[in-house]
Structure 1
Amino acid sequence: MNDVMPEGEAIRLFTVPITDDLAEEAVAILTRFRELADSALRVEDTEAFHQNTDSLFWKEVAELDGLGEPLRSERRRLHGLLIETANLTKDNALDHVRALEHDIVMQPPPVWSPLTLSRVVLEGVLFSEYLIDPTIPLNRRLARLAGMWRTDATYALKQAEAHGQEPAEAGQMLAYVEDALQKCQAVERHDRRGKVSGYSFGSESAALDINITERATKVMPDWLPAPYRLTSGASHNRPWMIGRAKDLAGGDGLAGEAATVMAAVMTVLGSIEVVIGAFGEYFGVDVSEELEQMEEERVAFLYRAIAIAHGS
């Protein structure tokens, strides 16, 4: 997209009201990408997935099968949970794409909600990519899942306590996770205060949780500068950002603009491309045709949107 316009220029171009035509174009490209993703991401149901035993996924399965019992069974379960979690966060991301499709065409037009929905899509994709990252070894992958699982168990504990559950009952999930990780021979890492800061499997380790900002900077396309920070102000309801909507409305209520819709849409399109690429490479399925098609349609959409927004 950099050959279309300078970085960031797409958003500055769209400082105009959201029109019905623009909203319909935005919904069409979101629906198209979501449908392509639904098809491309069903890699585990394809013949290519089962035939390509040289894929990273099957190599990891073979590596786990080479372990002795009971460690083999424990780590196979952890590996299965990893795949399940990657699919879960990806599916939740796509569900929010569907929500964004409805949000964009609502009347009166949305203000900041498109950016909030696109942020959920981005986060879901980054969680999935973080777990199935095709550039890391199996033990680091397991360490990443261990940290995320432990973090989620801690969140569940805090929520249970907030709802008045007894400590023993509230801590059941955390106790289960700690026991399962111990059986997997995951080694706790600790910070200077003695608190758990991550896990190690052999010589590979990972922190307790993903750093979303760093991950977005590392894996999102170059044509989408700082998408996580872009969506942050609206998602956190920060006055420095959301105040613009009041200014646009002339001080009476809030008014949305095409730039918000475009930023949300481009964030989603980039996110979908990233997760499709990661899934394809990890499971050994060729998704190059889908990615090429997405790039062509994304650029074509941008040209159409510029023409609609600026009447050319």
Structure 2
Amino acid sequence: MTDQPGIEDGIPVTFTVPITEPFARAAAQFLKGIRELVTNGFPEGVGGPESPFRRDAAAFDALPEPTREARRSMQGMIFEIVQLAWANALDHIRALEQDLVMQPPPVWSPLTLSRVVMENCLFLHYLIEPGVPVTKRLARCAGLWRTDIDHMEKTARAFGQEQEAQIAETRAYVEQALADVGAVERTNAGGKLIGYEVEGERAALDINITQAAQALPSYLPAPYRILSGATHGRPWMIGRARELARESDESLVGEAATAMTAVMAVIGSLETALAAWGDYFGLDLSETLEKLDDRRRAFFIEAVILTYGEAQ
């Protein structure tokens, strides 16, 4: 869980105690505050000609048709996807705010909600990662687009031939669009599609979240694995909630450590997404990032006081 340096009297700050109402309210209020901060913390528009976004667009202008228009279209798609991912992340933060204050206190649901926030922020980072060549960015988007079509096909089979026919038309459109972009299929020795390549830059069919999580701040220890253990109901993870339950009438009891992990995972994910957004679009988000870091530190101190205040 979230272990931090000990407080002054030597009590280790592991937060392995039940969630109290004051602690839950403070955590929920903190999340509300940072959600509002990052919602309103963006300058309007995008940056100048030296931003990667503008440079990518300029590179497309020198290309012949249909490649030029296809790559412009895919850049627009990337812009729409990251906006969608960001909105979905904020929606789940809002849900987490309510989840933390419910009674009895939540057990593992905070980690499930924060995992969605993390995935969306890492998805955003994957597509607009600073320093990545534009051709790799296109290859990444190609893989994600093709993977989504595969998921849509599998879902359509449950709804009948009409749905399958519609998705077949969509697949044909996507395959042509990827060809126009210049995305070349990559296959393994068995002929199975494993990703795409654009002008020598390769990408897998889908994002590897565990690998992508390396972009998160160092104060988050193994964040994605912990959150996934709770989300997928793995016994090694969820069995922990029985320990505190032995002293109560509940079958499972949530602990403050779980809530702290969820909160810190959320703020670390937001930091990662904001940094990528600012760098790619050429925006100065330093003030927002500084405020975010200041609030994280202040909340941790408040959480320690609320959890261990009586013991000091």
Task: Give TM-score, length-normalised by structure 1.
Answer: 0.92
Matched, 1:83 2:90: no
Give me the whole-angstrom Cα distance separating, in 2, the residues matched to 1:240 and 1:185.
Answer: 45
Change in Cα spacing, 1:255 to 1:12, as seen in structure 2 (3 Å) is: same
Distance 1:171 1:85 in 2: 22
SS at match of 2:196: strand
Residue 61 of structure 2, aligned match among 61, 65, 73 = 65
Deviates more, 1:136-145 or 1:172-181: 172-181
Specify the alignment match of 2:293 in structure 1.
295
Q: 1:54 aligns with which of 31, 50, 73?
A: 50
For 1:11 and 1:177, the matched residues in 2 are separated by 54
* Contact 2:149–2:171 (Cα < 8 Å) also in 1: yes
The residue that corresponds to 1:172 in the other structure is: 169
> 3-state DSSP class of the match of 1:162?
coil
* Offset, 1:162: 2.4
Q: Is the 8 A contact 2:5 2:13 kept in 1?
A: no
Amino acid at match of 1:176: Y
Any stretches of 5+ residues in structure 1 without a counterpart?
A: none
Q: Aligned to 2:49, what secondary structure does the other structure show? A: coil
Identify which of 206, 227, 230 aligns with 1:231. 227
* Structure 1 residue 165 displacement after superposition: 3.1
Q: Partner of 1:188: helix, strand, or coil?
A: strand
Q: Deviation string for 1:268-299 (max 9, x for gaps)?
A: 01001111111001111111111111111111
In 1, the alpha carbon distance for the partners of 2:20 and 2:111 equals 17
Tell me how far 1:37 sits from its aligned partner: 1.4
User: Residue 175 of structure 1: CA displacement?
Assistant: 2.2
Query: In structure 2, what is the Cα distance between the partners aligned to 1:207 and 1:262?
Result: 33
Task: Show CA shifts across 1:45-66 (max 9, x none).
Answer: 34xx35x221111111111111
1:271 alignment partner AA: S
Query: For residues 1-312 of structure 1, what are the structure 2 equivalents within 5 Å?
Result: 5=5, 13-40=14-41, 42-43=42-43, 45-46=44-45, 49-50=46-47, 52-165=48-161, 167-216=164-213, 218-250=214-246, 252-311=250-309, 312=312
Deviations along 1:185-227, whole A, 9 cap, x unmatched? Answer: 21111111111111111111111111000110x2000111111
Letter of the aligned partner of 1:5 in structure 2?
A: P
Contact 1:30 1:101 (8 Å CA) reproduced? yes
* Cα distance change on mapping 1:259 and 1:54 into 2, 3 Å: same
Is this contact kept in 1: 2:135–2:199, CA < 8 A?
yes
How far 1:231 moved relative to its partner?
A: 0.5
Contact 1:11 1:259 (8 Å CA) reproduced: no
**3-state SS in 2 of match to 1:107:** coil
Runs of at least 5 residues in structure 2 that lack an aligned partner in the other structure = none
Deviation at 1:171, TM superposition (A): 2.4
For the 8 Å contact 2:18–2:244, the answer to whether it is kept is no
1:207-259 CA distances to partner (integer Å, 9 max, x unpaired)? 1111000110x200011111101111110011221122233212742111101
Matched-pair contact (CA < 8 Å) for 2:89–2:117: yes
Do the aligned partners of residues 252 and 295 (structure 1) sit closer, same or farther apart at CA in structure 2, a change above 3 Å counting? closer
Conserved? CA contact 1:134–1:281, under 8 Å? yes
CA spacing shift, 1:248–1:172, aligned 2, 3 Å = farther
Aligned residues: 302
- Could you tell me the TM-score, scaled by structure 2's length? 0.92
Deviates more, 1:165-174 or 1:202-211: 165-174
Query: Contact 2:13 / 2:304 at 8 angstroms: preserved in 1?
Result: no
Identity of paired residues, percent? 50
